[in-house]
Structure 1
């Protein structure tokens, strides 16, 4: 049996740039080869994302319709009742999802009753046997430990873009704030979910820089979401051009090659992709998607469960059945 491509954390910018700029078909071939060395190419992890607290965020992320300062059609919603969240998680599990992610539009976690309720939600979803993930904004090490003790499996905190371009997109926090939260999550023994968004107006160099930051972490993020900008009316980036799917495929393939053990998630932007385009993304090494009924997801549209199951069936793929204990969580 052919040996796996080695895991590396010492990538140079030049090496990643060389991979990124390969002719597209050669790049996809190399990525598909690496994917088969590390993963079952017939399986796709289905993850469900639920907004447990929507809108009213004090941040100024240029892409986000949940920022309070932008006038969008997004309705502000207080933190959902714990029982309702658990019900959504049960429905997600029945629909084939093995991971349930809860998102709150907060700048940072505060030690208050709302955080206590999130802890209860984490415990409840964990008891269902699902991988439970949260994305709640900035996090201290103590808060991360508390989440880990409640059973949190993963924490999402995307880099969004390169360190150099970051301040063009967000001014209310710094790139280092993002890195600090990821480090706090690691110290607490929680797996990391971190990727970025393309289509923000960044250069190819910015994309390479973002991938370099992820691929040179002491441990690669266990999950790497690649998002295409979802253009939300009322935000500063609403008039950006639609992200070219070939650019998404190039990003996914490069991420797969340089972070072979990670789950690479085809995230935002799928609603604007054809089945053919999504098929290319899976060929390039994507093996995870966000799914769920449209009304239960975040504030941008997404295909529904039945559509996704049909797509997987058409492509000869199947939902991943994933036991948490099988993932090398204790290697952190």
Structure 2
């Protein structure tokens, strides 16, 4: 059998074809001495099929905490009574100010997030009012992450002008029941299918390091590739106090590098966005290395319930690395 990186050069790099499951498993098992070569190839694939621009995004939680679902990684679940996160809801003015700050930080996309199983009419009314108010003052694309949707809710969000809808599959289908019991992987997948059919862009990724095997990481990358999301957020578990995964070990830097490369080889043209946990798993120098190892987007500033790096630091980093930032093009 030919070497896995040579096969990737001949297929994924040359044609843009997704690397299949067996090849992803090989990548995830590469020895440390091949990490530099692997990362360089992942960067080549990114440049060839996703371009050289870096996309910056800001996120804001419209409704934080008090969620009735039992996602084991999430400190926003109201079922985990030891979690320090409590329910908070922002008003429209606060969302507008957050969007302004995101645009100031170079963001082309602003994502409105709510910790819910799915939105009710009151929440959708708030989102609609926020979008209208933001667009009166800020030139930025709006995305949303509001949980599991009905067909009618999908159509309403599309009519509001939501450009991209986020609903993470979170992990491999085979591992999902170990992480969540109050809803299914299939329900999440159905929401994303309806979003795609309505003409909105699909944003779906997940969290690495929730006790899944390397084979399940390859399975997850394959399932995302089949979904063909425009964007795939990559989180690395930052164990949260009071959650069932509070004592889970942190993903090592080598594991993270292999996983980023594997996801790039699985999805050559997708926006792979750094999300939560990169500071803990990779640190500053590891983040820079990963932007030359397959990643092509970041969230600037803080996340939903954890702190990120100051947005100014990320922008300085991109400038120092001479990585061009994608300009705003309202969809």
**How does the TM-score come out when normalised to structure 2?**
0.89
Map 1:1-332 → 2, pairs under 5 A: 5-8=14-17, 12-22=20-30, 23-41=34-52, 43-70=53-80, 71-78=82-89, 80-110=90-120, 112-126=121-135, 128-217=138-227, 220-272=228-280, 273-292=282-301, 294=302, 297-325=303-331
Q: Secondary structure at the match of 1:123?
A: helix
Query: Is the alpha carbon distance of 1:183 and 1:250 closer, same or farther for their aligned partners in structure 2, counting shifts above 3 Å?
Result: same
Deviation at 1:148, TM superposition (A): 0.9
CA distance in 1 between counterparts of 2:307 and 2:182 reads 26
Which secondary structure state, in structure 2, belongs to the residue aligned with residue 176 of structure 1?
helix
Compute the displacement of 1:194 (Å). 0.6
Q: Which piece of structure 1 moves more, 30-39 or 279-288?
A: 30-39
**Residues 119-166 of structure 1: CA deviation (Å, up to 9, x unaligned):** 222333455331211111101122111111111011111111111111
Q: Against the structure 1 CA distance between its residues 124 and 261, is the aligned structure 2 distance closer, same or farther, given a 3 Å change threshold?
A: farther
The Cα of 1:13 is off from its aligned counterpart by: 2.1
Distance in 1 between residues matched to 2:79 and 2:47, nearest whole Å: 45
Q: Distance in 2 between matches of 1:267 and 1:132?
A: 17
User: The residue matched to 1:185 in structure 2 has which SS?
Assistant: helix
Q: Secondary structure at the match of 1:319?
A: coil
Which TM-score applies when normalising by structure 1?
A: 0.89
Aligned-pair distance for 1:7? 4.1
SS at match of 1:216: helix
Shift of 1:199: 1.1
Any runs of at least 4 consecutive aligned residues in structure 1 with deviations exceeding 6 A, and if so which?
none
Q: List per-residue Cα deviations over 1:265-301 (Å, max 9, x = no partner).
A: 1111123232210011111111111113x4xx41111
The structure-2 alpha-carbon separation of the partners of 1:256 and 1:12, relative to structure 1 and needing over 3 Å to count, comes to closer
Q: Gaps spanning 5+ residues in structure 2: where?
A: 1-11
CA-CA distance at 1:264 after TM superposition: 0.4
Select between 124-133 and 165-174 the one with higher mean Cα deviation. Answer: 124-133
| Distance in 1, Cα, partners of 2:323 & 2:47 | 14
Q: Give, in whole Å, the separation in 2 of the partners of 1:322 and 1:137.
A: 26
Cα offset for 1:241? Answer: 1.2
